[in-house]
Amino acid sequence: MHLQNKRRIGIITGTGPYAGIDLWDKILKVNQGIMGADFRGDIDCPELYIFSIPDLGLSMQLERFDYVIWEKLKNALLSLDKLVDAFIIACNTLHYYNLQIEKLNLKATFISINKVLETYLNNNNIAVFALIGVNTIDISNKYFPFQNLLEKYQIERLSLIILDKLHKLSIDIKRKGVTDLHKRKMIEVLKGIKSETCVLACTEFPLLNISLPYKKIVDLNLLLARSVVHFIRNS
């Protein structure tokens, strides 16, 4: 049988026990959905390399462990670069290191969540939105990972109270997995946000699988999955 010319994809994960699994699952489903009736099973699945680095979970305390996290991430990327044609990072906070990643001059293509989100906002004519994530998602935080968007879009600044609730919610999901209580807490938070478009900028939050009639909820893991499949099929 003729096999499609496959590009190899790498996923860096570890910042949430299920973040990489969720992203991997969505890549497989998006790929199968695009192929439709032509999908033959195993041989038509993307070739993926998963590097799960639990120490990257220190990103929840980025200010304290900045140097340690970067060294762990850098070493993982240098190893992964020998195996893949492109890579993605299953964590929003770790995209704070985008400029340092670019300076590594890796041969593999970096599919950045920043650029993926920017493309989505442009294609859907969205100028105002809220980022739903942990405390680094505060636009005044020095570790804010979406610096490329600040001058082009109006990003709702969440209160410190809401950010604290989201931070604690993320940690609790990491520890316990998704529960109905977590879903109720997220819905409560979303009700207090003015923006219609709410971008889930924390890899734990798509696991909640929440939809609300009065909010446009954007799953960044799904956007990343679509970009990965586009890369595989069009490169």
State the DSSP string of the chain.
Answer: -PPP-PPEEEEEE-SSTTHHHHHHHHHHHHHHHHHGGG--SGGGS-EEEEEE-GGGGGGGGHHHHHHHHHHHHHHHHHHHTTT-SEEEES-SGGGGGHHHHHTT--SSEE--HHHHHHHHHHHTT--EEEEE-SGGGSTTSTT-S-GGGTTTSEEPPPPHHHHHHHHHHHHHHHHH---HHHHHHHHHHHHT---SEEEE-STTGGGG----TT-EEEEHHHHHHHHHHHHHHH-
- Separation of first and last alpha carbons in the chain: 21
Single-letter residue type at 223: L
115-218 has the same fold as 8-112+223-234: yes
- Give residue limits of the domains in the chain: 8-112+223-234, 115-218
Could you read off the pLDDT of 170-179 as tens digits, one per residue?
Answer: 999 999 999 9
CATH code for the part of the protein at 115-218: 3.40.50.1860
> What pLDDT is recorded for position 184?
95
Contacts (Cβ under 8 Å, ≥6 apart) of 3: 43
| Best CA proximity match to 190, nearest among 210, 160, 164 | 210
The class level of CATH for 8-112+223-234 reads alpha beta
Model pTM score: 0.91
Could you read off the pLDDT of 83-116 as tens digits, one per residue?
Answer: 999 999 999 999 999 999 999 999 999 999 999 9
Rounded Cα gap, residues 91 and 30, in angstroms: 19
Contacts (Cβ under 8 Å, ≥6 apart) of 165: 185, 189
Per-residue pLDDT of the chain (235 residues; tens, 9 = 90+): 444 557 899 999 988 878 889 999 999 999 999 999 999 998 899 999 999 999 999 998 988 999 999 999 999 999 999 999 999 999 999 999 999 999 999 999 999 999 999 999 999 999 999 999 998 888 888 899 999 899 899 999 999 999 999 999 999 999 999 999 999 999 999 999 999 999 999 999 999 999 999 999 999 999 999 999 999 888 7
